[in-house]
Amino acid sequence: MSRPRAVVVVTGSELVRGDRRDLNGPFLAHELVSLGIDPARIIVVGDSPRELEAALRLGLDADLCLVSGGLGPTHDDRTVETLARILGKELVVDEQLEREIESVSRGHAERLRRPYADFAPGVRKQAALPEGARPLGLAGTAPGFVIQAANAAVVVLPGPPPELRRLWAAALESAPVREVLSRARPAERRTLRFYGVSESAVARALEDAGGDDDGIEATICAREFEIHVDLLVGESGGPRADAIAATLRERLGASLFTEDERTIAEIVLELCRGRSLTLGTAESCTGGLVAARLTAVPGSSDVFRGSVVAYADDVKTGELGVPMEVLAAHGAVSAQTAAAMATGVRKRLGADVGLSVTGVAGPGGGTPEKPVGLVYLHAAAPDGDLAADFSVPTDRETVRARAAVAALHLARRLLSQNRDGSG
């Protein structure tokens, strides 16, 4: 028996134009995989009625169609009326839903000091659902709902990601979705994450291990300057998955840093926590990106002390104690300055571990000796230091993002190395 298919339709002209990045499609696809449903397509479509209708018709060919966006009160929120037309259903105002939306909207009207009459038409529009639809509740004023089509269970959710995720749990409990889930076959998922090795090297190792098939679906993805191997393991694929993982460990063990879905920031914080160490960062070209990744992890405050963003040379000397003679002799972008920054931030913030980044992010500022893309990193801990550098001529955003990831991996190496110096 094959797994049920799902199509995700993400609506919004701002997504098609590139003004905003789609977060809903990847979230829903990940959820579907974990539930044992095959996410066959993610379709991002604008607010054009013709394009929206074409996308929804493709979705209705699947077992499960998930739609996000287009549920607001304005003229360009067309998801509900378009879906109703395709299904041949009348739009019917749900009176209970209308009262709930009205209650929220009256609060908005009072706060904005506007008459409720300004909101009333939009309230009625949002409360009108295709005949037979079952509301999932409200997120803001947008109602989610589920409806059974001829071949597909259709779930319609709000566009803002926090609102969509709030109603997703209710969608999973609805009868049409539960029926699809009853036919799903959740697969075991195994993850191996590598850093400091090329995607092609990982691909060769996977091929030498026999590749996928025989109950295994393997994917290799370059993600955040790391290489992730995901193994979806079917009912009979356990032994093959064991063999593949063993081969990858044997061939690429020096680059393998985790076999779960923890981020590198989570791993660094856990390593510090396990040794009762605190951490501080000193950043120049990354402008706080390393600190942002660390503080995005809930509970990081018991480890992370803070960050000094020392962009100008006088801030490096005044706040981090980088000697002026080091800057004069070697420059702000140098291994010596990175080392002094890491030592300085430990003292300045009272941190056990100091992590520093300095480089030329571009597009200007490079020289033949120190080109755009050159970055120096340093990690200093009570029992030792590690330094690293790289030079990748690319755009500013990529240099900064790569530097932030490289800094965290440098800290991981330092914190996880054995007393004999091996990593």
Query: Cα-Cα-Cα-Cα dihedral of 255, 258, 263, 267, to 10°?
Result: -100
- What is the three-class DSSP state of 374? strand
Going by pLDDT thresholds of 50, 70 and 90, the confidence category of residue 421 is very low
Fold classified for 264-416: Maf protein (3.90.950)
The CATH superfamily label for domain 5-181 reads MoaB/Mog-like domain (3.40.980.10)
Q: What is the dihedral of CA 27, 33, 36, 41, to 10 degrees?
A: 90
Q: Which of 286, 294, 289 is nearest to 268 (CA)?
A: 294
Q: Are 62 and 5 in contact (CB under 8 A)?
A: yes
Residue 332 has pLDDT above 90, yes or no: yes
pLDDT of residue 147: 98
Statement: residue 418 has pLDDT above 70 = no
Instruction: Determine which of 18-32, 125-139, 407-421 has the lowest per-residue pLDDT on average.
Output: 407-421
How do 128-130 and 153-157 pair as beta strands? unpaired
- The reply to whether CATH 3.30.70.2860 applies to domain 188-258 is yes
- Taking CA 297 as the corner, what is the angle to CA 66 and CA 406, rounded to the nearest 5 degrees? 100
Inform me whether the pLDDT recorded for 32 exceeds 70.
Answer: yes
The per-residue pLDDT for 97 is: 94
Report which DSSP code applies to 183: T
Write down the domain spans for the chain.
Answer: 5-181, 188-258, 264-416
Q: What pLDDT is recorded for position 216?
A: 87
Nearest to 7 by CA among 67, 80, 76: 67
**Model pLDDT, residue 141:** 86
Give 105-119 pLDDT, tens digit per residue.
999 899 999 999 999
Mean pLDDT of the 41-70 span = 97
With residue 412 as reference, give the H or E element that holds it.
Answer: helix 396-416
Query: 66-78: per-residue pLDDT in tens?
Result: 999 999 998 889 9
For the ranges 53-62, 217-226, 231-240, 290-299, the lowest mean pLDDT is seen at 231-240
3-state secondary structure of 305: strand
- Residues 231-259 have pLDDT tens digits of 988 877 888 899 999 999 999 999 999 99
Tell me, rounded to whole angstroms, the distance of Cα 334 from its chain centroid. Answer: 32
Q: What is the mean pLDDT of the chain?
A: 94
For residue 190, pLDDT over 80 is answered with yes
Maximal C-alpha separation, the chain: 78
- Predicted pLDDT at 100: 94
**Residue 419 pLDDT:** 40
124-165 pLDDT, tens digit each: 999 999 999 999 999 888 899 999 999 999 999 999 999 999
DSSP 30-74: HHHHHHT-EEEEEEEE-S-HHHHHHHHHHHTTSSEEEEES--SSS
pLDDT at res. 215 = 77
